[in-house]
């Protein structure tokens, strides 16, 4: 498959199906060493930017624990990674979501078929029955992957907290977060923190090629990886249709702030037609990363009022973007609203 014709939304392999891991060798060794010790913390908060491999690492750990239930076994002690062959029965069951020892909490579609913006309390309460069941996986391990804890609503967070406070024996929680410092302090305190760094460009190329069946030497993939800032998901999004061009056009307008080019904003809005979720994601992701860079810049603390304005705008933009995607609203009003708020915040 050529990278220029890739359709990331429909062709990429989900993290639960991906057995390869690129980068994050240190993080993988941290998990492996903890498991070998026989005293692994029951909950891990895996943090880092979106799309850099948090879920891939979490499912890699889940497969390893479910495939090697005895930490003291020689096969575990001799292992130098968490790799489990894709043809292993556990790997196949994890990939198709049928393993009895694995529970995943993630956003689901509502009765109308629209993706929910949060993980609900009813979904979070599934942990009670899952960890209370007498029917466990071979070896008694139960693993819960939360993708992501950022999307738990308040009641769902409290429901998860209850099981984290009194975890059953041989239970393992792998919680992912794009912003771990913003996770409830009570949840943070019950987790071992594991922070992942953005991937090197070469790792992004390899991971994207592996996930989507792309040619690693394709020029378009290299360009997307260069612009992805260490995120595989972002590189794949940028490869979809005109996403790379949308990213570049959005970034040009962001770099002109607080000045606004209304003609260019109209053109950008026209480039985001209704039902184009890939383009919308590229637009929102570019805004999100631009804001992240400004909020975490070395000199950000020198202008606290501006920092506060940007943080407030970030919340409003994310809320507006979720509504636009959930209800499939016109994109142009979102474009003007986003840039209007950013212009005001950066003056």
Give the pLDDT confidence of 311-334 residue by residue, as tens digits: 889 889 988 988 898 888 899 999
Q: d(Cα 338, Cα 321) in Å, to the nearest integer?
A: 9
The C-alpha angle 88, 92, 94, rounded to 5 degrees, equals 115
Contacts of 274 (CB under 8 A, 6+ apart): 328, 330, 331
Confidence of residue 86 (pLDDT cuts 50, 70, 90): very high
Answer with the residue of higher pLDDT: 342 or 132: 342
Q: Given this model, what pLDDT does residue 6 score?
A: 38
Provide the token pair at 194. Answer: 């594991």
Q: d(Cα 286, Cα 229) in Å, to the nearest integer?
A: 11
Q: Given this model, what pLDDT does residue 340 score?
A: 94
pLDDT tens-digit series, residues 90-126: 999 999 999 999 999 998 877 877 778 889 899 999 9
pLDDT tens-digit series, residues 11-50: 578 899 999 999 999 999 999 999 999 999 999 999 999 8
pLDDT at 185 over 60: yes
pLDDT tens-digit series, residues 249-259: 899 999 999 99
- What dihedral do alpha carbons 224, 227, 231, 232 form, nearest 10°? 0
pTM for this prediction: 0.74
**Residue of 285, 288, 289, 247 whose CA lies nearest to 268:** 247
Assigned superfamily of 15-195: P-loop containing nucleotide triphosphate hydrolases (3.40.50.300)
**Mean pLDDT (whole number) for 65-89:** 96
Residues of the chain with pLDDT > 70: what percent? Answer: 93
Is beta strand 43-47 parallel, antiparallel or unpaired with respect to 192-195?
parallel
Provide the token pair at 263. Answer: 């003609």
Q: d(Cα 225, Cα 211) in Å, to the nearest integer?
A: 14
Q: Given this model, what pLDDT does residue 229 score?
A: 87
**Mean pLDDT (whole number) for 202-226:** 90
Q: Given this model, what pLDDT does residue 244 score?
A: 74
Q: Where are the alpha helices (DSSP H) in 271-330?
A: 277-295, 304-326
């Amino acid at each position: 498959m050529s990278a220029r014709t890739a359709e990331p939304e429909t062709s990429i392999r989900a993290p639960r199906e991906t057995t390869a891991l690129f980068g994050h060798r240190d993080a993988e060794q941290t998990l492996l060493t903890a498991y070998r010790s026989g005293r692994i913390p029951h909950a891990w908060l895996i943090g880092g930017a979106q799309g850099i491999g948090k879920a891939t690492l979490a499912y890699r750990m889940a497969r390893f624990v479910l495939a090697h239930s005895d930490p003291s076994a020689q096969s575990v002690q001799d292992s130098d990674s968490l790799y489990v062959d894709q043809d292993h029965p556990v790997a196949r069951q994890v990939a198709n979501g049928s393993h009895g020892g694995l529970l995943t909490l993630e956003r689901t579609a509502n009765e109308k078929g629209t993706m929910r913006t949060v993980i609900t309390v009813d979904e979070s309460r599934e942990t009670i029955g899952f960890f209370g069941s007498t029917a466990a996986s071979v070896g008694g391990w139960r693993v819960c992957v939360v993708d992501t804890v950022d999307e738990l609503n308040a009641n769902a967070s409290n429901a998860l907290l209850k099981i984290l406070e009194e975890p059953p024996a041989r239970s393992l929680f792998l919680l992912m977060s794009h912003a771990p410092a913003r996770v409830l302090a009570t949840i943070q305190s019950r987790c071992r923190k594991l922070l992942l760094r953005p991937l090197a460009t070469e790792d992004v190329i390899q991971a994207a090629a592996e996930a989507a069946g792309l040619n690693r030497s394709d020029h378009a993939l290299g360009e997307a990886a260069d612009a992805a800032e260490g995120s595989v998901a972002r590189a794949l999004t940028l490869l979809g249709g005109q996403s790379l061009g949308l990213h570049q056009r959005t970034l040009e307008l962001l770099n002109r702030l607080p000045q606004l080019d209304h003609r260019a904003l109209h053109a950008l809005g026209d480039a985001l037609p209704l039902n184009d979720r890939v383009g919308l994601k590229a637009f929102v992701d570019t805004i999100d990363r631009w804001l992240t860079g400004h909020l975490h810049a070395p000199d950000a603390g020198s202008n606290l009022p501006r920092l506060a304005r940007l943080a407030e705008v970030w919340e409003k933009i994310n809320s507006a973007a979720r509504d636009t995607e959930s209800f499939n609203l016109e994109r142009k009003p979102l474009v003007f609203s986003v840039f209007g708020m950013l212009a005001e915040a950066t003056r």
